[in-house]
């Protein structure tokens, strides 16, 4: 079945640093979504991508839909303490309604 490989699994950074994480798929997706999840809560949608090569920003977050349609990345600029959490990529292929999720990147920020 479809699998998403997300890396890195965890990151420990200093406040103010930029963060980059990525997600690769074994098959082509036509939609990529990025979510953030905090302990005990459901995932919150951050950014949605629909076209290969698309670059979309949401405040300090920027995400790109890879040209091959098999990867996506998320950047966070000038990290702040409230960015702490687990970030998940998710994708769906044409005709499918379900999302396939990566394993998550746990972000920890040292003040």
Partner 1 sequence: DTGVSQDPRHKITKRGQNVTFRCDPISEHNRLYWYRQTLGQGPEFLTYFQNEAQLEKSRLLSDRFSAERPKGSFSTLEIQRTEQGDSAMYLCASSAPLNTEAFFGQGTRLTVV
Site of interaction with partner 1 (CB under 8 A)? 4, 6, 31, 33, 35, 40-45, 48, 88, 90, 92, 97-104
Q: Which is nearer to partner 1, 46 or 109 (CB)?
A: 46
Q: Which is nearer to partner 1, 80 or 96 (CB)?
A: 96
Q: Which is nearer to partner 1, 76 or 89 (CB)?
A: 89
Q: 95, exposed or middle or buried, with CB in 10 Å at 0-12, 13-18, 19+?
A: exposed
Give the end-to-end CA distance of the chain in Å, rounded to a whole number. 40
- What is the smallest separation between the CB atom of 110 and partner 1, expressed in angstroms? 22
């Amino acid at each position: 079945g479809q699998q998403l490989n997300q890396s890195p699994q965890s990151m420990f950074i200093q406040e103010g640093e930029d963060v980059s994480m990525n997600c690769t798929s074994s098959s082509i997706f036509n939609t990529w979504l990025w979510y953030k999840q905090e302990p005990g809560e459901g995932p919150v949608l951050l950014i949605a991508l629909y076209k290969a090569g698309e670059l979309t920003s949401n405040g300090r977050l920027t995400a790109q839909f890879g040209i091959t349609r098999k990867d996506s990345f998320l950047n966070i600029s000038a990290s702040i303490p409230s960015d702490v959490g687990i970030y998940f990529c998710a994708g769906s292929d044409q005709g499918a309604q379900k999302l396939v999720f990566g394993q998550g990147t746990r972000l920890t920020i040292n003040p």
